[in-house]
Amino acid sequence: MNVCFAPCPVVFDLDGTLIDSAPDIHACVNAVLRLRGVRPLTLDQVRGFVGGGVDLLWRRVIGATGLPTDAHRDLVASFMTRYHEATGLTRLYPNVIEALGILADRGYPLGICTNKPLGPTRAVLEHLGIDRLFGVVIGGDSLPQKKPDPAPLRAAFAALGADPAQPRGIFVGDSEYDAETAQNTGVPMLLFTRGYRKAGIDELVHHAAFDDFQKLPLLVEETSAQAFAPSQG
């Protein structure tokens, strides 16, 4: 028997979902590349590398720049010294605060599940003034597994009171990683279409899509009612 709060928990991805952090990530990447005498990458290039965590980001940067693969560890370390406090260029997407406030006021337990390392995640949430809205924050280094493995999302739902084996909750994300994570976890996904995804909307498994956070509270209510309505009889 599933145990969960009512209404059901809502867990969010971070980069490309609640926040546009690509400008800060881009600046940190290029600061490291400058130290190596490497030509900087464009914002669009770096935005396309975001989603799988810092290690994958730098594997993609190395592939794009021709840097030696054995420099990966040093590049990541150099990047992280800058990334931990990189908040100045990051912005919330429009209407995020309003949507989160409505969901919180209606009693939905809120959480974060991201592949972004936990330190930078907490720093940017605090910088943007939304850290206290979330009952749990799972970062890319909180567990041995990263999305699209279901373990981080299951942990987030469990911390909000859901059955980790069969969570009755909703995941909100923007990317292929998020769609696969929701599918692997067995929960409905709401797809924010202005984020960092590379595939077409129709290529991603999702319950519903939206392009403005004003639409999210109603979508959450509808999805919760459809996916988790009590059985009759």
Catalytic residues: 13
Q: What are phi and psi of 180, to 5 degrees?
A: -70, -35
Q: What are phi and psi of 158, to 5 degrees?
A: -60, -40
